[in-house]
Amino acid sequence: MVQDVRPSGAPFKRLFFALALPETQRRAVAQWRRELGLRAGKPVPAENFHVTLLFLGDVDAAQVPALCAAVDGMTRPGAPIRLLLDRLQVWRRAGALVLEPGDTPASLRQLVYGLEQRVLPLGIAEQAREYRPHLTLSRDFQGQPPEAAQAPEFFLNARRFGLYESRKGRYCPLAEWPLDEA
């Protein structure tokens, strides 16, 4: 297993929780993005498309089992989360072109809050900003959102969420949980 190492020698992983997109949906979003004819930014590889729930950053590798155990005991929504990604936006500070929902379901906010509460006792840093669900299409993007020939309308019907590691530009799943309690 490849791991990064801190200057102290302790191995760590760059982690985040996310909703993955099914392969057919990743292809559809990638095709829609191609039709935008982007000439700026660095496109995110379609295999990395996801909706971030909670970014954890650099976490000691030894904490991963405790992190997974904490989420195992978490109350989950009890049903799939349906999210409509229908707004193309530029996040200027982050330099990102993103798809966002016009409306964030309460069940998604509750899931994110539950994850935040589960990681706090582990000493993993709390997010200081409001949660904004999004799918990143391109990084290092400047300027206005491009005109789309067809408005974005991507329905994500998430039945599971996962813990992912960011490793050299690839997102590798480490664990997965159903959104229902069963």
Catalytic positions, please? 50, 134
- Tokens at residue 35, please? 């039709």
Report d(CA 26, CA 42) in Å as an integer. 17
- What are the backbone angles phi and psi of residue 129, rounded to the nearest 5°? -125, 160
Question: From the CB of residue 16, how many other CB atoms can be counted at a distance below 10 Å?
Answer: 18
